[in-house]
Amino acid sequence: MSSIRERNKELILRAASEEFAEKGFAACKTSDIADRAGLPKPNVYYYFKSKENLYREVLESIVEPLLEASAPFNQPGHPGEVLRAYIRTKIRISREHACASKVFANEIMHGAPHLSAERTAQLNAQAAHNIACIQSWIDQGLMARVDPNHLLFSIWAATQTYADFDWQISAVTGKATLDDSDYEAAAETIIRMVIKGCEVQEPA
């Protein structure tokens, strides 16, 4: 029984991510989520109680990967290694959690009204920690004197665009969907711009 429950919840959550990403919270209907999941509408309420709760679950599904992406900053490491790992993970999130990433971005653009205060505090604290790490590397002479806030914002923008603007990217590249080589090229390009542009000193 538990396996059926988990399967149904996963189907609903995936369908909700797609519907919220396409239509936004206000325009999204519970019946459309149920139809996309291939389940009766009452199942949505049975597992999630309300559209609001389901929306928060979608946000929750992306917050944890975003926090985990910063793991390289949370342990000793050379700035080049840390930034490379962070950028690669952010690209992977945009690829593997594209719809939830879009929902999260839209939530942030509207002032994060549905994101819990606890999660907001966690994300802000992690960002502050990452910025402090970058500033420390600058102070140690390990990279150029760039603004650490705007460096982090630039990395967010460059990696997030592969989720938010996937349609435009597909149109420009002429591909219906991007493949492994595209995401590898994206990661390598962003890494090169950051490492070279910030004059990150490589370990001897």
* Domains assigned to the chain: 1-49 (1.10.10.60), 56-197 (1.10.357.10)
**Position of tokens 């700035």?**
79
pLDDT of residue 167: 86
Say what the pTM is. 0.91
List CB contacts of 61: < 8 A, sequence separation 6 or more.
Answer: 13, 17, 97, 100
pLDDT of residue 67: 95
Radius of gyration from C-alpha coordinates of the chain: 19
The parts of the chain modelled with pLDDT lower than 50 are 1
Supply φ then ψ for residue 178, to 5 degrees.
Answer: -80, 150
Q: How many CA atoms lie within 13 A of 13 on its CB side?
A: 18
